[in-house]
Amino acid sequence: MRASIQKRLVEIVLLWTLIGYPLMGMYTTVTGVDNNTVSIIFRAFIVLICLFLIGKAFADKKFKTNKLILAFLTLYFIRLIYDYAYQFNDYALVAIQFYLSSVAIPVIALGSYSEYILSIQKRVVLLISFSGALFLPAFFYAYRNGLFYTQGTDEFNVRYASEFVNAVLLGHFTCTVVIAAFFYIIEYRPRLIECSVHVAILGGSVMALFLSGSRAAFVGVVVASAVYAISRPSRLVVLIPLVLGSLLYLPQDNFLVRRMGDLVNAQWDTGALQRMEVQSTAIADFLNSPIIGKHFLDMNWGPGSYPHNIIIEILMALGLVGAVPLLLIFGMSIYRAMKFRSELTFYTIIYLVSLTFQQTSGTIWAADNVFVLASILLTASKNFEPRLLARLPRRANAAERSIRGGMRQADAQH
């Protein structure tokens, strides 16, 4: 019983890092409950679970974490503390709170359970897809009742978002749900009734994705399609007609489609130009102090203004001292994800998609999905054999015993 509860707690933390905040934010939007209060409660709850999982791992002598990720997280935390305490940067205090509760502590907590997380790919896919069934009613309720603010060129070409779930978060969430629903339908081939539910979730999430107007979400779908094609070449017979058919039915008057067209035609909207200006300033700051960086965030940029690219952000904040380990983390985790892509296809896809998002609309202190997934990939024992997972549908009992035996052996060696 205790082991079962522990596993459910691990799943709660993982799902929170992947999809938790947008789901919560949508319900605070429709209910009018104070988002800050609910957010603090949820984050405190997640932190308590994480501390329990860390303590349990230590008590069982099974605690482990990737040293390179831990070193990087520590360096970045020191930077935030320094900017708040000595540079009097109030934005750093907000970043510290988010960073500890959403990134650093969950990363440390889930590392010890990496093999278990990798072994439950189907369950994670199912839970993420079903999260769309919780999200979409609230989203379309807000849409129909005018609870979103809009941005666009006219009343017909707009993007929708709320104060608590901006277009970037909305795009990332819906992109993740689209990937999960599609993956579950194609890979696990559920029965008709269940399949119909996931098809409805898929369709509703695609609509929400277009309404968000997030270009990063569209790019995420393209990245996911490419990784899926590489990982599952046999699925091209399904993927190619689906992609080509989707292109034929793209709504040409949709704001997202027009924004993507602007990129192709090298036309930049105001938001893109502002990001490029901030990124140019951040790169200039890095060149002024290339070894240790200059600061976390320029106070003159204003609230919410940051480079929207975690590579540029780390160059500005920690210079080469921070950029080198961060690039090593990304390189090593991408290598391992691609190495396991045949068996852990979904994890590979959502990691690379999340990484893409963080290069277009991200910041390190809120990049929970990227660092959690990187930690899981890098902390898993070298003896972990994801090839065993491919046997689960045909020989579930034998494979599960093999996986558990391999995990016990790996734990004994650690």
The ranges assigned to domains in the chain are: 2-380
pLDDT of residue 285: 84
Please classify residue 85 by burial: count the beta carbons closer than 10 Å to its beta carbon, then call 0-12 exposed, 13-18 middle and 19+ buried: exposed
Residue 197 CB neighbour total at 10 angstroms: 18
pLDDT of residue 397: 45
Report whether pLDDT(8) > 80: yes
Among 116, 112, 124, residue whose Cα is nearest residue 375: 112
Report whether pLDDT(256) > 60: no
Half-sphere exposure of 372 (CA within 13 A, CB side): 30
Report whether pLDDT(151) > 90: no
pLDDT of residue 258: 57
Report whether pLDDT(288) > 70: yes
Rounded average pLDDT over 18-22? 94
Report whether pLDDT(269) > 80: no
pLDDT of residue 399: 43
Rounded average pLDDT over 130-142? 94
Taking the C-alpha atoms of residue 144 and residue 135, their distance in angstroms, rounded to an integer, is 14
Half-sphere exposure of 242 (CA within 13 A, CB side): 11
Contact 361, 279 (CB under 8 A): no
Q: Which position has the higher pLDDT, 151 or 115?
A: 115
Report which listed range, 74-83, 140-149, 155-164, 396-405, is most confident.
Answer: 74-83
pLDDT of residue 50: 97
Using a pLDDT cut of 70, give the percent of the chain over it: 82
pLDDT digits (tens, 9 = 90+) for 336-378: 999 989 889 999 999 999 999 998 888 899 999 999 999 999 9
Among 229, 227, 210, residue whose Cα is nearest residue 218: 210
pLDDT of residue 202: 94
pLDDT of residue 272: 66
pLDDT of residue 308: 83
Using a pLDDT cut of 90, give the percent of the chain over it: 53
Which residue matches tokens 């990087």? 72
Write down the pTM of the prediction. 0.86
Q: 284: Cβ–Cβ under 8 A, 6 or more apart, which residues?
A: none
Q: Which position has the higher pLDDT, 343 or 274?
A: 343
Please classify residue 296 by burial: count the beta carbons closer than 10 Å to its beta carbon, then call 0-12 exposed, 13-18 middle and 19+ buried: buried
Q: What torsion do the CA atoms of 399, 401, 406, 411 make, to the nearest 10 degrees?
A: 140
Rounded average pLDDT over 117-142? 95
Low-confidence winner among 17-26, 77-86, 348-357, 400-409 (lowest mean pLDDT): 400-409
pLDDT digits (tens, 9 = 90+) for 158-208: 677 888 888 888 989 999 999 999 999 999 989 999 999 999 999 999 989
Report whether pLDDT(66) > 70: yes
Among 31, 243, 15, 250, residue whose Cα is nearest residue 132: 15
Report whether pLDDT(217) > 50: yes
Rounded average pLDDT over 298-302? 57
SS (H, E, C) the chain: CHHHHHHHHHHHHHHHHHHHHHHHHHHHHHHCCCHHHHHHHHHHHHHHHHHHHHHHHHHCCCCCCCHHHHHHHHHHHHHHHHHHHCCCCHHHHHHHHHHHHHHHHHHHHHHCCHHHHHHCHHHHHHHHHHHHHHHHHHHHHHHHCCCCEEEECCCCCEEEECCCCCHHHHHHHHHHHHHHHHHHHHHHCCCHHHHHHHHHHHHHHHHHHHHHCCHHHHHHHHHHHHHHHHHCHHHHHHHHHHHHHHHHCCCCCCHHHHHHHHHHCCCCCHHHHHHHHHHHHHHHHHHHCCCCCCCCCCHHHCCCCCCCCHHHHHHHHHHHHHHHHHHHHHHHHHHHHHHCCCCCHHHHHHHHHHHHHHHHHCCHHHCHHHHHHHHHHHHCCCCCCHHHHHHCCCCHHHHHHHHHHHHHHHHHHC
Please classify residue 224 by burial: count the beta carbons closer than 10 Å to its beta carbon, then call 0-12 exposed, 13-18 middle and 19+ buried: buried
Q: 182: Cβ–Cβ under 8 A, 6 or more apart, which residues?
A: 202
Among 288, 294, 361, residue whose Cα is nearest residue 322: 294
How does the average pLDDT of the chain come out, rounded? 84
Residue 189 CB neighbour total at 10 angstroms: 10
Show the tokens assigned to 98: 């988010």
